[in-house]
Amino acid sequence: MGERQFRRKSTARRFRPVLLMCIKAPHKRCAKLSQSMKSTRTLPIALALFVACTATRAAEGWKPLWDGKTFDGWHTIGKGEWKIIDGAIRGTHPKEEKEFGHLVTDKSYGDFTVRLNYKAVKGNSGLYFRIEEAGFSGVTGFQAEIDADKDAGGLYETNGRAWVSQPKPEDVTRWFKPGQWNEMTVSARGGHIVVHVNGLKSAELKDDPGRREGRFALQVHGSQDCEIWFKDIEIKKE
């Protein structure tokens, strides 16, 4: 076997697990490819695989809910601070501030599946959906619970029924990874709502009488010291 042919086979073997990752989980944007593309020798292969990942996401119907670079299509209400750092949103909030803070989509949505990656460093947060900007804390509606310590993946209705589906602590330990990036998926079709954290179902409601349409929002909790990160926010409209 010639040296050039050996290099080609070696490169292909090195990228095989990355390609499989892209096929199985294209929404992760193939971060490993971005690292590999720094090498000029492997740039053509890495670029081709990156294009394949993007095409797979598009074929599945996924579209960015956040563009990864700006806050276009979103607005803030309340207190707290929102920054974009290295392709992720960082939400922070000081404990001495009582008012909540939210980063809210400009558009409203009905039936959908949305997914994101989050890292709860400290404090409480949530992925709100089908909300209206009204009531105590600034928003009214459902949130899929995000917290640094507990209740991850539960369903809480702000200014409504409070906990509708609160997970048991022993169940949270099965799907939540403290201090690490976690993947959350929320599917809402009519009154059927399902939440998954890291691929495991954390909450499900059937024939729920709640709102059928509204905005998305990310939260930093009032009267808490919060640091929450979000990235790879994508949506598939039903």
Residues 73 and 148 reside in one and the same domain: yes
In this prediction, residue 46 carries a pLDDT of 43
22 and 120 housed in the same domain = no
Containing domain of residue 204, as a range? 64-237
Are 28 and 101 in the same domain? no
Domain boundary among 35, 60, 85: 60
Which of 33, 60, 87 corresponds to the end of one domain?
A: 60
167/224 same-domain check: yes
pLDDT along the chain (238 residues), means of 10: 52 51 52 50 46 54 98 98 98 98 98 98 98 96 98 98 98 98 98 98 97 98 98 94
DSSP conformation class of 134: -
In the numeric block, the tokens 């990235």 are attached to 231
Count CB atoms within 10 A of the CB of residue 145: 26
The residue to which tokens 């459902």 are assigned: 142
- Same-domain pairing of 171 and 76: yes
Pair (134, 233) in one structural domain = yes
pLDDT of residue 232: 98
**Based on the domain organization, do 41 and 106 belong to the same domain?**
no
Residue 53 in 3-state DSSP? helix
* pLDDT at residue number 14: 56
How many domains are contained in the chain? 2
Do 53 and 70 belong together in one domain? Answer: no
Amino acid type, 138 = G
Same domain, 52 and 148: no
Q: Are residues 179 and 98 in the same domain?
A: yes
Model confidence, pTM: 0.79
* C-beta of residue 203 within 8 angstroms of C-beta of residue 33: no
What pLDDT sits at residue 51?
43
